Amino acid sequence: MNKNQLIERPGGSPIYSGLGVATAGGLAGAYITIGEDFRFELPSYLTYVEKVSFSKTMRFTLIIEDHRRKLILRFKNGPLIVEEEKFNKWDGVILNPVCNEIPMSTKFYKIPVAVDIQGFIRNCEEGREISYSKKFELEMNSDISIFHANKEELVQSDISVQRLMDKGFKEILISDDFNGFTLYVKDGQSLKLRPSVKGNNEVGNGDFLLASYFTLRLNGEDPISASKMALKLSDEFSILGLNVLPRLS
């Protein structure tokens, strides 16, 4: 196949996070923006989907060269109004916007929450490459509150692990590309985990990691065991990508 050939496919956090939930043994639902021009089937592991419709689907062009990702926004939609009461029937909620469609003022107090920083700090201008410079201002009050970013995003958002904990996040995952990730917990402990393999899949890894770890925590695993189990699942995902088999309950 010509490496310059364009392939159109569905993607984004609902696809990769949903698979992470399902692979870790949970039931995944999604609250998403979608366009009238969307012509793909959503994966069966998304057991419930609520759509906010727009005329066009959010689209990107993703170029990967020498492990560098270049992401260009083609069309943006949104916003999503996310209120805690809307999700009371779920055991937990993952806040993982693509391009600022979830307001930074969103508050959760009772439901366990996992947050990925990426879509909160992106500069999203149609026709331009995505950059990262917005300040991360989201605060958490839930008993289980988990945060994920990669090392570069953490630097670009000018925030530290300690400041995230001050904002109410009790468990923090910081990815380091092929070097694995580090888990930080509220009492000051940290644990560095390295992958046993280096697969070729380079899309959706952070979404999958956060979702699988969060699901394992909701299923009763402690942070250390959940991180080790999520690492094994992420190793599989790095090799198989969307061909990883969900372990639906």
Please list the ranges in the chain whose pLDDT falls under 50: 1-2, 248-249
DSSP the chain: --TT-------SHHHHHHHHHHHTT--EEEEEEEETT--SPPPTTEEEEEEEEESS--EEEEEEETTEEEEEEEE--------GGGGTTSS-EEE--SSS-S-TT---SSS-EEEESHHHHEE--TTSB-EE---------SSSEEEEEEHHHHHHTT--HHHHHHTT--EEEEE-GGG-EEEEETTS-EEEE--S---S--SSHHHHHHHHHHHHHHTT--HHHHHHHHHHHHHHHHHHGGGSPP---
Q: Considering only CA atoms, which of 176, 183, 172, 188 is closest in space to residue 224?
A: 183
The domains located in the chain, with CATH, are 13-241 (3.40.1190.20)
Which pLDDT value is given to residue 92? 96
Q: What pLDDT is recorded for position 201?
A: 75
Q: What's the distance, Cα to Cα, between the start and end of the chain in Å?
A: 38
Tens of pLDDT, residue by residue over 26-63, are 999 999 888 888 888 889 999 999 988 888 888 888 88
β-strand 46-54 against 59-65: which pairing, if any? unpaired
pLDDT of residue 247: 64
Q: What is the value of pTM for the model shown? A: 0.91
